[in-house]
């Protein structure tokens, strides 16, 4: 049954790429970078090869970025280091989705360093 189930799944590197790039919506809307990939992952995880694994990576990465940002806010007032932390988080939120979108499009393994494993 498992092998039959996997044969029904399709390879769709373009959708995987779009899912990774949809995280960049956070730069525009502030929250779309979590909602859009979450919707794509939930609706397509049983239909597209690698969507379940990569979708979990994206959700974990977005939740991790939120936590890192929340931690940086009080650090702004306490030490001023929070500004540096927020800049690092901002760069991570742009660079890693683009790098992983390129990898997904090339059918390579994706990885988001610094992600906390919330969804496994």
Please report the pLDDT score of residue 3 as a whole number: 52
Would you say residue 119 lies in a domain? no
Tally the domains of the chain: 1
Would you say residue 3 lies in a domain? no
What letter does residue 10 receive in the DSSP assignment? B
Would you say residue 114 lies in a domain? no
Say yes or no to pLDDT of 4 above 60: no
Distance of alpha carbon 116 from alpha carbon 27, whole angstroms? 21
Cα 20 to Cα 24, 29, 31, 77, distances in angstroms: 8, 16, 15, 33
Would you say residue 16 lies in a domain? yes
Would you say residue 101 lies in a domain? yes
pLDDT in tens, 86-108: 999 999 999 999 999 999 999 99
Q: If you average pLDDT over residues 36-62, what whole number do you get?
A: 97
Would you say residue 34 lies in a domain? yes
Say yes or no to pLDDT of 6 above 90: no
Would you say residue 111 lies in a domain? no
Contact 96, 113 (CB under 8 A): yes
């Amino acid at each position: 049954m498992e092998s039959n189930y996997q044969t029904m799944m399709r390879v769709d590197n373009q959708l995987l790429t779009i899912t990774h790039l949809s995280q960049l919506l956070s730069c525009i809307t502030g929250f779309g970078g979590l909602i859009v990939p979450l919707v794509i992952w939930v609706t397509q995880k049983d239909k597209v090869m690698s969507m379940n694994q990569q979708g979990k990576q994206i959700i974990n990465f977005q939740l991790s970025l939120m936590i890192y940002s929340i931690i940086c806010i009080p650090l702004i007032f306490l030490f001023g280091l929070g500004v540096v932390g927020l800049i690092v988080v901002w760069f991570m939120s742009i660079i890693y989705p683009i790098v992983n979108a390129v990898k997904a499009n090339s059918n390579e393994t994706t990885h988001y360093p610094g992600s906390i494993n919330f969804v496994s």
